[in-house]
Amino acid sequence: MDGSLVGRLADTADESPAKRLRAGHSRVPATPAVRDALSSAIVRCVRKCSRTGCQNAAVATLTYAYADSTAVVGPLATSSEPHSYDLCAQHAGRLTVPKGWEVVRYEGEFGPEDPSNDDLTALAEAVREAGSLHSPVEQPEPEASSGRRGHLRVLPTPSD
């Protein structure tokens, strides 16, 4: 048995996760499929529905306005926030609220927001245009001073 971390992981590769935990191993070795997925050039982050047990992709965001007793179900927010909940299409459509509360729903269709080719083309053109408009920044000429700067001194120009 090799004492190195690699050796310990190789020794536990065929054990069950429960057996590894009982033996005090805290790390589970990555299988070839996991390593291939992690090294993929294209990684897509899909947010899941916040409802317990639901593995569907989120397409809507639920936010509560407690002061107004209102639940707002709108398009998926650009980033996940702690005070809002991501919902799949099924749960966004079936949401119910307590008596006395209102639900404000987005009237359009919920669906994955993949960027279209037009969006990507417009973005690429904007980046290209911003790069071509870049003009070199002129450096200001340093002013001559007769003071001391660290270990260097500037000597005044001799006047004849």
* pLDDT tens digits, one per residue of 14-41: 555 555 555 555 555 556 655 555 555 5
In this predicted model, which residue has the larger pLDDT, 14 or 108?
Answer: 108
In this predicted model, which residue has the larger pLDDT, 97 or 23?
Answer: 97
Write the CB contacts of 95 (distance below 8 Å, at least 6 apart in sequence).
62, 71, 73, 87, 103
* pLDDT category of residue 77 using cuts at 50, 70 and 90: confident
Residue 150 Rama label (left phi>0; alpha psi -120 to 50; beta): left
Percent of the chain with pLDDT over 70: 50
pLDDT for res 12: 47
For 93, the enclosing helix (H) or strand (E) is: helix 89-93
pLDDT at residue 111 greater than cutoff 60: yes
pLDDT at residue 105 greater than cutoff 80: yes
Local structure of 152: helix, strand or coil: strand
* CA–CA separation, 125 and 68 (whole Å): 44
Whole-model pTM: value is: 0.45
